[in-house]
C-alpha cells in the first residue's frame, strides 16, 4: 500500500458487495443452466439437474441476506436522485458517451451507479418474491404461480445486462475503480476524477482516511 492512498470502502461494505455479487452470479449461472438446454453442462458439473436446483435455491437464501444488507447500507447514497445536479449529469451522460467540457461534479455515487443500485434493489426483490412463490407452488393459486415464471425471467434479463456495464465500468472502463472493492484504498487522482464532491465532503467533515497519515501525526506528537 502506498502512502497517501485514501480509504473508499470499509470491510463491511466490501464483504456485503462480494456476498451480493457472488451469490447473484451463482444464481444467474445456475438459473441459465435450468432454463436452457445448451447450458445443461452447468447441471452436469454439479451432479445433475436436481443438485443444480438445490445450489440455486440455497444460494438464493444467501442472496436475500446480502440484498437486505446492501439496501440498508446503500439506499441513502445510491438510492436517491438529487436534483438538479443528477439531471445535469444524465444530460451530459456523465461525459462517457460524447465530449463534454465540464461534467457535473459527482458525490459518492453518480446517477449511472444509482441506476444500477436501483435495478439490483428492485429487480433483486422481484427475483426473491417470484422465486419464493415458485419454491412453494402448492400453497399459492395456479394463476399466480404461472405469472412468476416470466417475471423471474424478466428480472434476470434486467440484472444480467446491467451487470456487464457494471463489470466494464468497475474495471477496465474506469481504471482505478476496482481497488475500491478489493483493497478498499484508492488514489486521490481517481477520487478527484470519479467522485470530486465526495472527496471535498470528506475533507470538510474531517472523515478522510489517508494511508500513513495517522502514523505520521502520532510520530510528530500531534
Ligand atoms: C464480479 C465483478 C464485479 C466487479 C469487478 C465489481 C466492482 C465494483 C466496484 C469497483 C464498485 C465501486 C465503484 C465506485 O465506488 O465507483 C462496485 C459497486 C457496486 N457493486 Fe459491484 N462489482 C462486481 C459485481 C457486482 C454484482 C454482480 C452486483 C450486483 C448484484 C454488484 C453490485 C454493486 C453495487 C450495488 C455497487 C454500489 C453502487 C454502484 O456502484 O453502482 N457488483 N462494484
Mean pLDDT value of segment 17-42: 97
Question: 181 in ligand 1 pocket by Cβ < 6 Å?
Answer: yes
Ligand 1 pocket member 194 (CB < 6 A): yes
Q: Is 123 in the pocket of ligand 1 (CB under 6 A)?
A: no
Q: Nearest Cα to 192, choosing from 184, 202, 182?
A: 202
Q: Would the pLDDT of 52 be above 50?
A: yes
pLDDT range class, residue 2, cuts 50, 70, 90: confident
Alpha helices in the chain (DSSP H): 11-35, 40-45, 49-78, 85-91, 111-135, 142-170, 179-182, 188-194, 196-205, 213-219
Per-residue pLDDT tens over the stretch 169-181: 999 999 999 999 9
Determine the topology of domain 9-81+110-187 in CATH: Fumarate Reductase Cytochrome B subunit (1.20.950)
This prediction has a pTM of 0.93
Give residue-wise pLDDT tens across range 128-158: 999 999 999 999 999 999 999 999 999 999 9
> 213 falls in which pLDDT band (50, 70, 90)?
confident
What is the best residue among 7, 66, 121, 166 to mutate for testing ligand 1's pocket, by most ligand atoms within 8 Å of CB? 166
CA distance 112 to 128: 24
Residue 127 falls in which region: left (phi positive, over 0), alpha (psi -120 to 50) or beta:
alpha
Measured from the Cα of 67, ligand 1's closest atom is 30
pLDDT higher than 60, residue 218: no
Amino acid at each position: 500500500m502506498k502512502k497517501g492512498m485514501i480509504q473508499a470502502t470499509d470491510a463491511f461494505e466490501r464483504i456485503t458487495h462480494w456476498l451480493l455479487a457472488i451469490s447473484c452470479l451463482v444464481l444467474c449461472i445456475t438459473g441459465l443452466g435450468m432454463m436452457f438446454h445448451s447450458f445443461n453442462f452447468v447441471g452436469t458439473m454439479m451432479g445433475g439437474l436436481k443438485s443444480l436446483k438445490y445450489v440455486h435455491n440455497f444460494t438464493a437464501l444467501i442472496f436475500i441476506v446480502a440484498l437486505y444488507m446492501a439496501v440498508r447500507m446503500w439506499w441513502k447514497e445510491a438510492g436517491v436522485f438529487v436534483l438538479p445536479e443528477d439531471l445535469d449529469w444524465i444530460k451530459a451522460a456523465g461525459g462517457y458517451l460524447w465530449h463534454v467540457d465540464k461534467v457535473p461534479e459527482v458525490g459518492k455515487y453518480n446517477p449511472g451507479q444509482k441506476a444500477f443500485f436501483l435495478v439490483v434493489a428492485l429487480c433483486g426483490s422481484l427475483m426473491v418474491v417470484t422465486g419464493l412463490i415458485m419454491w412453494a407452488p402448492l400453497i399459492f393459486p395456479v394463476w399466480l404461480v404461472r405469472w412468476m415464471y416470466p417475471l423471474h425471467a424478466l428480472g434476470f434479463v434486467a440484472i444480467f445486462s446491467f451487470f456487464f456495464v457494471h463489470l466494464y465500468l468497475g474495471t477496465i472502463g474506469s481504471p482505478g475503480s476496482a481497488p475500491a472493492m478489493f483493497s478498499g484504498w484508492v488514489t486521490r487522482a481517481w477520487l478527484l476524477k470519479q467522485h470530486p464532491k465526495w472527496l471535498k465532503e470528506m475533507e470538510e467533515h474531517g472523515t478522510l482516511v489517508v494511508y500513513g497519515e495517522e502514523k505520521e501525526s502520532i510520530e510528530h506528537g500531534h
